[in-house]
Amino acid sequence: MLRRAARACRGISFLTDGSGRSPAIIVIVEKDDEFLLARNRTFPMPMYSAVAGFVEPGETLEEAVHREVFEEVGVELSEVRYFASQPWPFPHSLMIGFFAKWAGGDIRVDEMEIMDARWYRPDDLPMIPPKMSIARALIDEAVRRRTGAPAPG
């Protein structure tokens, strides 16, 4: 019932739980021994991170993962798996982290939010977010799965 009501009310900017938090997803897409990182246009420096975005009204978290990744970088996913969550103050959000497997498609950035996206190996990472973020925890886990140790730095 709530899901149908939320879908019918498209005027809402973000779905909230009444606490003022707008849920957002963040995801590392894995492909063999590589994983996808993207550079958002709003990053003040040439930093790459996991793909992220807000959950739309009436959408499940898993649906948001599929939609955001496809809209921002053009690839399709399978096996979306929950990783962790983190309170996020921009703007009063809850960031929910996931891993997903690449299911098909070539990287095609949307150019509105993302300026570049690439597949990276653990031994050839660009500048990545600091350790205090869920983005970094996802990247560290992706590296650890491939090398046994977290990302350097």
For 1-17, what is the mean pLDDT? 40
Whole-Å CA distances, 42 to 38, 46, 91, 103, 130: 12, 10, 15, 28, 16
Q: How far apart are CA 83 and CA 112, in angstroms?
A: 27
pLDDT of residue 92: 76
pLDDT above 90 for 103: yes
Q: What is the pTM of this model?
A: 0.84
pLDDT single digits (tens) 38-82: 999 988 789 999 999 999 999 999 999 999 999 999 999 999 999
From 21-25, 106-110, 124-128, the region with the lowest mean pLDDT? 21-25
pLDDT digits (tens, 9 = 90+) for 109-142: 998 999 999 999 999 999 999 998 999 999 999 9
